[in-house]
Amino acid sequence: MARKIVETLYCDACAKKGLEVVGTEKLTIMGREWDMCLEHAERFMNQLAGALDPTEVALSA
């Protein structure tokens, strides 16, 4: 009999709040990985872009 193992990844940021939201995005920085829901991924992307290039936030807003 064949078996299929399905692993569900949850958003690390939501998990800190006790929520189980599926992590559909993955963030990798210098070998560290975080799973994030789309909302947290977009929020972090905007914060990171603003820290690296403030004009980037103005363009995406």
32, two tokens: 């560290």
Q: pLDDT 10s digit of each residue in the chain, 61 long?
A: 899 999 999 999 999 999 999 999 999 989 999 999 999 999 998 898 888 887 765 555 5
The residues, any chain, with a CB within 8 Å of residue 32's CB and separated by 6 or more, are none
> Number of helices (H) and strands (E), helices first, in the chain?
3, 2
> What's the CA gap between 47 and 52, in Å, rounded?
9
Q: What is the pTM of this model?
A: 0.71
